[in-house]
Structure 1
Amino acid sequence: MPNFEQKVVLITGASAGIGEGIALHFASLGAQLSLTGRNSQELSRVASLCQQHGAKDEQILVQDGDLTSAEFRQKLLKNTIDKFKRLDILVNNAGMIYYAKTSDTTEEEYDTMMNTNTRCHFFLSKDAIPHLKASKGNIVNISSICGPKPMAEVAVYCMSKAAMDMFTQCLALELAPFGVRVNAVNPGTIVSKIARREHSAYQDEDKYQQFLEIQKSKHPIGRVGLPVDIAQAVAFLASEEASFITGQILFVDGGRHCVSSAVATSVQK
């Protein structure tokens, strides 16, 4: 397994789901962690779990705030550098989704999704570039199967993730001469809170379990994913074992990207 001792990893959207899984996995691999999300109580919970996975208290920095705020992004990076003196890995994971047909999508919903899923990560990455050049570090973007695969009733979400895929490859070209790698992981359906939080029907546990059962049949491997599946892929791409990999869009989706999307109607990052 890769070793991340002395490496500093900044993870956005670290308070639940995929972000939590990534944080716990990096904690078990010895990394120093800068964790951010909007929910301070959930971030504290994840920080405590990171200690159970091997991280020491002094190896963890927790900052709650809104990534769509330029002021908070600058504060996030400054406090990370002030504490750890470096940044080696940026994991752009924070994201959200509204389930709505194009005809029902409001301008506010459009702006919220594009700002949260794409814009804030563009500018956080931009501000992190000098630090990543100094460490010859790397960026891993958490995109989605919806980036290259159209799905009904989540058009803006698909657009935001398609933008992240293209940003990944463009930035990989820009930063390759400096020894900085940029890759993306594109999950299929993962057991997390995003669907339950944003889709009213899935807030009922029985209905959510029914949703997962339906999703199993859409993944050729016969199951939905877990946060640890994504975390392990992220750790690989961020490690020296992947030192010759950049600009990669890595599907971690049980083969779902191989299946036709013509009648797909539901998605979960």
Structure 2
Amino acid sequence: MSDVPGFGKALVIITGASRGFGRALALEVAARVDATGSVLILAARSDDKLHELQTHVTRVASELTVRCVTADLSRKEDVERVITVIRETQCADIDHLLLFNNAASLGDVSRYCRDFTDVDEVDSYLSFNVSSALCLTTGVLRAVPRRVGLTRVIINISSLCAIKPFASWVLYCTGKAAREMMFRVLAEEEPDLRVLSYAPGPLDTDMQLQARSSSADGCVRSACSGLHAQGQLLTCEASVSKLMKVLLEGNFTSGAHLDFYD
């Protein structure tokens, strides 16, 4: 795929890589880097699915170095393990650093705000969906400091829920809004970085199945079911393709929120 525009020699980190959007992202990115000298680091909770993906990626780019890190990012030690792998990765003279903060969970959408009384439950959700993204990003930027000729890009996989409330989705909306502001602050503080929050649109994934099956709010549940019934859900591949186009063209304001439909 030498005629496909790409990122040159790159270090790419993808969290939540074992399925859905993260999996599609890994396969697409593998085809858009210079396989010789590039490294793809895949992190997710499922060891089996990660190594299955690794096999598929090497079929796309046989010379690409692919490292899998089985990690539950709600755990401090697992976040630190991912960062350690990045520090130990030898990738001299890379053109791009790309970190895709994709790992996320919908949370319990079968309840409303008034039903969340367990602080530990909320803390656990925010640890996985917010805290880990901040600490992992910081660790990556320290491990791969800025230098002349290196473009460092931080991508937050966001959602419409970062800017619009959905009844019975208090955890998900809160987590996405917090991450959105977190990366806007990062863009403000670090002008040498390229930072983007990308909302991939309504995807045909397990998360969407959970949303249309379990949402307590009838209107939200009906809307999610309608998208599925009417064939309006996007494939992960179509959304990833849009994101690749945006990143390669680079015509976005650092810190911006971009939706698939923009």
TM-score, normalization: structure 2?
A: 0.81
* Contact persistence 1:110–1:156 (CA under 8 A): yes
* Contact persistence 2:208–2:224 (CA under 8 A): no
Q: Report deviation, 1:37.
A: 0.2
Residue in 1 aligned with 2:6?
Answer: 3
Residue in 1 aligned with 2:99?
Answer: 90
Q: Report deviation, 1:80.
A: 2.5
Unaligned runs of 5+ residues in structure 1 are: 203-209, 256-269
* Contact persistence 1:185–1:233 (CA under 8 A): no
Matched, 1:33 2:40: yes
The change in CA–CA distance for 1:212 and 1:199 in structure 2 (over 3 A counts) is closer
The size of the alignment, in residue pairs, is 239
* Contact persistence 1:37–1:64 (CA under 8 A): yes
Matched, 1:51 2:63: no
Matched, 1:168 2:176: no
Residue in 1 aligned with 2:174?
Answer: 159
Q: Trace 1:1-269 onto structure 2 (pairs within 5 A).
A: 1-30=4-33, 32-52=39-59, 54-56=60-62, 58-85=64-91, 88-97=97-106, 98-99=108-109, 100-105=111-116, 106-130=118-142, 131-134=144-147, 135-176=150-191, 179-196=192-209, 198=210, 201=213, 214-215=226-227, 223-239=232-248, 241-242=249-250, 245-252=253-260, 254=261
Q: Secondary structure of 1:137's match?
A: strand
Q: Report deviation, 1:78.
A: 2.4
* Contact persistence 1:22–1:230 (CA under 8 A): no
Q: CA RMSD in A?
A: 2.6
Residue in 2 aligned with 1:205?
Answer: none
Indicate the percent of aligned positions where both proteins have the same amino acid.
Answer: 24
Counterpart CA distance in 1 for 2:174 and 2:115 is 16
Q: Report deviation, 1:200.
A: 9.4
Q: Secondary structure of 1:68's match?
A: coil
Say which structure, 1 or 2, has more relative contact order (CA 8 Å, 6+ apart): 1
The change in CA–CA distance for 1:233 and 1:109 in structure 2 (over 3 A counts) is farther
Q: Hey, which bits of structure 1, 4+ residues long, moved more than 4 A?
A: 210-213
Unaligned runs of 5+ residues in structure 2 are: 215-221
The structure that is helix-richer by fraction is 1
